[in-house]
Amino acid sequence: MAYSIFLDGTNWVFADLRDLLAKATPRRSGDELAGLAAGSAVHRIAAQMALAEAPLADFLTQTFVPYEIDEVTRLIVDSHDRYAFAPIASMTVGEFREWLLSPLATPAALTALAPGLTPEMVAAVSKIMRLQDMVLVAAKCTVVTALRSTIGLPGRLATRLQPNHPTDDSRGIAASLIDGLLLGAGDAVIGVNPATDGVQDYSRVVGLLDDVRQRLGVPTQTCCLGHVTTAIKAIEKGAPVDLVFQSVAGSQAANAGFGVDLAVLGEAQDAALSLGRGTVGRNVMYFETGQGSALSANAHHGVDQQTMEVRAYAVARRFEPLLVNTVVGFIGPEYLYNGKEITRAGLEDHFCGKLLGLPMGVDVCYTNHCDADQDDMDGLLLLLVNAGVNFVITVPGADDVMLNYQSLSYHDALCAREVTGRRRAPEFEAWLAQVGLTDAAGGLKPAPVAIGPALAALSSRLEAAE
C-alpha cells in the first residue's frame, strides 16, 4: 500500500510503510549506508508529514519482515493485544503523538496500552517527535522490575557497575568492583563482560562476583555477560547465576548471527528461574541491543535501523527481563555518526522501549573514532535521567579498558543524582546507609567506617588466592 503527499511542487510517493518509515527517520549514517535514507531534507519532511497521516490500523495489516520467514514478526503479530489497542485504534500516527503528549496519557493509561502497541507503531510515532516530546512521554512511563533489588520506581536512578578487565583478572575485577561500590554504584547489577566465553572462566567470574556480594551483604544482582548457551551450561554445573545475559536484534536472521533464537532464550530463562535466587522479584533476564546490529549482520530486510532496533524490544518483552540496555553509541560512526545522532538515538531507544513496557537502561557511550565527546554524553545523560531512565552503565573513569570505548563514570552518576535528586534502588540505598557509606540524604560520607572490616577480610581472601 503506497502513501503520498504533495509538497514543494512535488508529489512524494512512498511504496509502503517500510519505505515511509525509512524516509521519515531523522538523518543517521546507518540508513545512508544501507541506501534507505531520504535523499534530502525536503524528502524527509514529506515522509514525516505523510507518516503523520497514516492510520495506526495500517500497521496491523502490513508486516515489515515476512511472517513466513521470521519468528520475530510472528511473535509481534501473534502476541498483539487488540483489546489494549482499542482506545487508539482509530487514530493516525499524528493523532497518536498528540494523545501521548496530552494529559489523557497518564501513567496508568500508558501501562494499559503497552500490550496493544507493536514495535513499528512505536518507532513510527517517535520519528515525528522532538527530543523534548520523547522526554515528556517517557517520563510518564513507569516500568518496575525486581530480583534482589527493585529497579524503575519513580524518582529513582540505578546504575550498572561494570568492572571489566582485559584478562578477566580476579583482583582487577574486584578492585574496580569495590571502587564502584564505595562510590555508590551497582544497584541495577554488577556485570562483567568477560574476555573469553568458556564455561570455566564464566563460572569463575560469576563465583567471584557472588562471593564479593555475599561477603559485603550487597542487595543487588550479579551477571557475567557471556553467551546465553554458556550461561545454561554453567547453571547445569551449579554456578551461582543471578541474571542470564544476551544481545538480541529485530529479526530472526540477525538473532541467528548472535547464535540465538526464541527457543534457546526460553530455555535460559527457565534455567535461571529454577535457581530461585531472587529475594524481592523473579526477573532473571538481561538483554542488550543497539541500532545498527541488524544492518551490520546484513539481516535488516530493507527496514531502517531504528525500526529494527524497536523490533528487538519485542524479543526482550517476551521474557520479562530485569534490565534492557541499549548500547547506543557502542556500534560506531558507521551507524550513528556523531554526538547529535547518538543523542537522538539514545532518547528514541529509551522512549520506544518504555512505551512497549520495558525496563529500559542506556549505555551513554561512544567509540574513540566517533565525532562525539564527553560533553555529548553529559547532555544525553541529563536528558535521560529527566526522562526517567531505569539505569545507566558506569565504569571506572568513564573508560572501559576491556571493550575500549567511553561510557559514564561512577562520578557522572553521582552528579546526575545531585542535580536531579534521583535516589538509588530502595534495598541498595538502605544497605549503603547501613554500612556507613551514605548519610540520611543519600550523599556519600568522606570516611566510611562500618564497611571496613568486610573490605579487609575480602582483601585478605584475594591475596591468599593469588
134 carries a ligand binding annotation: no
State the maximum Cα–Cα separation within the chain, in Å, rounded to a whole number: 78
Q: How far is CA 299 from CA 254, 258, 295, 303, 437, in A?
A: 5, 11, 6, 9, 48
Backbone angles phi, psi at 117, to 5 degrees: -100, 140
Angle at CA 399, nearest 5°, toward 152 and 290? 50
Provide CB contacts within 8 A for 175, sequence distance 6+: 163
95 annotated binding-site participant: no
Q: Is 49 annotated as a binding residue?
A: no
Query: 160 among the known binding-site residues?
Result: yes
In sequence order, the 6+-apart residues with CB closer than 8 A to the CB of 339 are 366, 370, 371, 372, 373, 375, 376, 379
Residue 296 counted as an annotated binding residue: yes
Is 463 annotated for ligand binding?
no
Q: Is residue 56 annotated as involved in ligand binding?
A: no
164 is in an annotated binding site: no
Q: What angle do CA 304, 306, 307 make, to 5 degrees?
A: 70
334 assigned to a ligand binding site? no
Distance CA 131, CA 352 (A): 12
Residue 402 assigned to a binding site: yes
Which amino acid would we find at residue 348? E
Instruction: Give the DSSP per-residue string, 180-227.
Output: HHHTT--SSEEEE--SS--HHHHHHHHHHHHHHHHHHT--S-EEE---
List residues forming the annotated binding site for adenosylcob(III)alamin. 194, 246, 296, 402
List residues forming the annotated binding site. 160-162, 193-194, 246, 288, 296, 363, 402
List residues forming the annotated binding site for substrate. 160-162, 193, 288, 363
